[in-house]
């Protein structure tokens, strides 16, 4: 395969992550072949906020898991910027089970640093600082089950940021939240993203959420998932979701989503 | 209310039948319980024999816990080992621990724990701890602990493992910081079941050949001498100790695991 050509597949200096021609096929329990991804090309720039949007079951999560190294592709390749290592460059926020129920919040946030051998005092100081930044300074001794869903995702965000990732993968992290909480968390995420140089790759099936957050939107087709359109969103922040340019973008994304199916 | 009513019925029933060697009055049983240090038939007191049984149980249980947890964790994490051991486990599990008795006596004779370390008579309570008893108790405690641990490890949500992996945890760290804490509730449940079963088994084992002490032995010995007040006093003690063991384990579990049953 020509994908090994270094000139074509190596990320340029402003790209942290490139996926080329990624394929993935599953076999269901009844033995049926399910093609989840077909020849997916995707790149994430340094400091970019990329939103992956697509219909349910289009392989968004599969793609994210492959990029995160939790799953392996059947074909194609994943490339990272030079010097980037998955083990310490990536963080992942899941939709569910994002925290360890047996750890108090402080220990949850400090988990990644503990795995990296950071001494207790330093990692706790850093975790405290992050809990404060997500607005949960008073809850460091609470257990996850004592929190609401929105608060848990705040902690999950702090937990992921603690390891200072260059790329943050997020799989519908706000999908299970009510509207008001979701809006709060979107704002918090944007604030945190703007204070760091990290890139975010964010999966959602909510068009409004995509346009609120993204600096670029990748639209995936229905199964098998392919990237059908790349839509840059250069609207100034904070974004007014009632203004004309915003609603124009919504329409473009909606058209891209529905023209395919 | 119900216990009080039963007690009254027992009191009048015993008086009406008037065969105290078979149906003693609750007053006589209470008198035995009120004097736990009174010697019976040269075998020692209720307290002495209860303590002997308890020490046996705790040693057997500890051994079962060590091996049960180790093997449960090992087989839970390494699926290749699981296939190797599964048939053996399935055959040994339904085997009543008491069925091991002849084998235990054949192998260990009447050797005691101090004798294992070359001390003929340590003049401590451990002189009453026969290796055969420990062996039988081990089989009583092992399977609940092993099975619960195995189920606990296999029930760990993959999401927690993925999360740990994404946060940089290597295989050993995932074992220590995810498998172990996530299966701890099941391990402690296994301990509770295992300890209960050990207490069950020791009473039976003490009634069988090769035994010379313990609350189960005292119970049967007293029965042969028609000392039913001692028999019933022993039964009361066995029941109360069993309940206390269970209660202690449950309290430990609740103290340890504030998050348990509240997985998110």
User: Tens digits of per-residue pLDDT, B221-264?
Assistant: 999 998 999 999 999 999 999 999 999 999 988 887 777 766 65
Is position A210 within any domain?
no
For chain B, the domains span 29-256
Within an 8 Å CB–CB cutoff, is residue B106 touching chain A?
A: no
Note the CATH number of domain B29-256.
1.10.3720.10
Is position A147 within any domain?
yes
Cβ of B259 and A97 within 8 Å?
no
**Interface-testing mutation among A112, A113, A115, with chain B (most B C-beta atoms within 10 A):** A115
Bridge-partner residues for A75, per DSSP?
A: A23
Mean pLDDT along residues B34-43: 91
Give the whole-angstrom CA distance, residue A242 versus residue A233. Answer: 15
Chain A: nearest CA to B178, how far in angstroms?
A: 8
Q: Checking DSSP bridges between strand A227-232 and strand A216-220, what pairing results, if any? A: antiparallel
In terms of Cα–Cα distance, which of A88, A92, A48, A29 is closest to A66?
Answer: A92
Give the whole-angstrom CA distance, residue B95 versus residue B205. Answer: 15
Q: Which residues contact A61 (CB under 8 A, 6 or more apart)?
A: A171, A172, A203
Give the whole-angstrom CA distance, residue B226 versus residue B12. Answer: 20
pLDDT value at residue A12: 56
In terms of phi and psi (left: phi > 0; alpha: psi -120 to 50; beta: otherwise), the region of A53 is beta
b/e sequence A120-144, b meaning 16+ C-beta within 10 Å: eeebbebbbebbebbebeebbebbb
- Within 8 A of A89 by CB-CB distance, chain B residues are none
Give the whole-angstrom CA distance, residue A17 versus residue A80. Answer: 5
Per-residue pLDDT tens digits for A14-68:
888 899 998 888 888 888 888 888 888 999 999 999 999 988 778 888 899 999 8
Q: Return mean pLDDT, chain B.
A: 90
Chain A: nearest CA to B2, how far in angstroms?
A: 40
What residues make up the domain containing A107? 100-165
Is position A200 within any domain?
no
- Within 8 A of A99 by CB-CB distance, chain B residues are 163, 264
Let me know: does A128 contact A204? Beta carbons within 8 Å: no
Count: domains in chain A:
1
- Within 8 A of B173 by CB-CB distance, chain A residues are 115
DSSP string, chain A: -GGG-HHHHS--TTEEEEEEEEEEEEE-TTS-EEEEEEEEEEEEETT-EEEEE--TTSSHHHHHHHHHTSS--SEEEEEE-TT--HHHHEEEE-SS--S-TTS-HHHHHTHHHHHTT--HHHHHHHHHHHHHHTT-GGGTT--GGGS-HHHHHHHHHHHHHTT--SEEEEESTTTTS-HHHHHHHHHHHHHHHHTS--EEEEEES-HHHHHHH-SEEEEEPSSSB-EEEEEE----SS--TTSHHHHHHHHHHHHHHHHH-
Per-residue pLDDT tens digits for B170-212:
999 999 999 999 999 999 999 999 999 999 999 999 998 878 8
pLDDT value at residue B263: 62
């Amino acid at each position: 395969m020509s994908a090994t050509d270094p000139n074509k597949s190596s990320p340029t200096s402003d790209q942290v992550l490139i996926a080329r021609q990624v394929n993935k096929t599953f076999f269901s329990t009844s033995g049926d072949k399910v093609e989840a991804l077909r020849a997916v090309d995707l790149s994430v720039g340094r400091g970019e906020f990329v939103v992956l949007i697509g219909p349910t079951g289009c392989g968004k999560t599969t793609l994210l898991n492959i990029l995160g190294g939790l799953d392996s592709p059947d074909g194609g390749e994943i490339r990272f910027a030079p010097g980037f290592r998955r083990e310490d460059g990536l963080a992942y926020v899941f939709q569910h089970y994002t925290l360890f129920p047996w750890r108090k919040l402080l220990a949850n946030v400090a988990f990644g640093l503990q795995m990296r051998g950071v001494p207790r005092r330093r990692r706790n100081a850093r975790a405290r600082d992050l809990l404060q930044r997500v607005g949960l300074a008073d809850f460091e001794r609470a257990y996850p089950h004592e929190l609401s869903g929105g608060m848990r995702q705040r902690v999950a965000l702090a937990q992921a940021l603690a390891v200072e990732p260059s790329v943050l993968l997020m799989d519908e992290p706000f999908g299970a939240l009510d509207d008001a909480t979701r809006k709060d968390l979107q704002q918090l995420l944007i604030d945190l993203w703007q204070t760091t140089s990290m890139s975010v790759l964010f999966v959602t099936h909510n068009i409004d959420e995509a346009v609120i957050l993204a600096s670029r939107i990748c639209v995936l087709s229905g199964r098998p998932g392919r990237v059908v359109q790349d839509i840059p969103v250069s609207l100034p922040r904070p974004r007014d979701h009632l203004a004309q340019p915003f609603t124009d973008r919504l329409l473009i994304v909606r058209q891209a989503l529905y023209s395919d199916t | 209310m119900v216990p009080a009513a039963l007690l009254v019925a027992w009191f009048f029933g015993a008086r009406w039948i008037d065969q105290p060697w078979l149906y003693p009055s609750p007053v006589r049983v209470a008198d035995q319980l009120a004097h736990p240090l009174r010697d019976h038939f040269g075998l020692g007191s209720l307290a002495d024999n209860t303590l002997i049984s308890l020490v046996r149980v705790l040693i057997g249980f500890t051994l079962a816990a060590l091996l049960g947890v180790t093997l449960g964790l090992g087989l839970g994490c390494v699926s290749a080992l699981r296939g190797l051991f599964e048939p053996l486990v399935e055959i040994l599990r339904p085997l009543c621990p008491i069925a091991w008795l002849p084998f235990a006596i054949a192998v260990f004779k009447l050797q005691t724990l101090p004798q294992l370390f070359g001390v003929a008579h340590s003049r401590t309570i451990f002189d009453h701890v026969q290796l055969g008893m420990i062996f039988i108790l081990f089989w009583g405690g092992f399977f609940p602990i092993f099975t619960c641990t195995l189920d606990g490890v296999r029930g760990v949500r993959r999401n927690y493992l993925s999360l740990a992996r994404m946060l940089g945890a290597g295989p050993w760290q995932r074992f220590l910081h995810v498998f172990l804490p996530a299966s701890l509730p099941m391990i402690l449940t296994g301990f509770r079941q295992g300890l209960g079963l050990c207490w069950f088994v020791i009473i039976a084992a003490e009634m069988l050949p090769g035994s010379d002490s313990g609350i189960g032995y005292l119970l049967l010995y007293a029965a042969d001498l028609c000392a039913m007040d001692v028999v019933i006093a022993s039964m009361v003690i066995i029941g109360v100790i069993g309940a206390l063991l269970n209660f202690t384990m449950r309290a430990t579990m609740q103290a340890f695991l504030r998050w348990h049953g509240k997985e998110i």
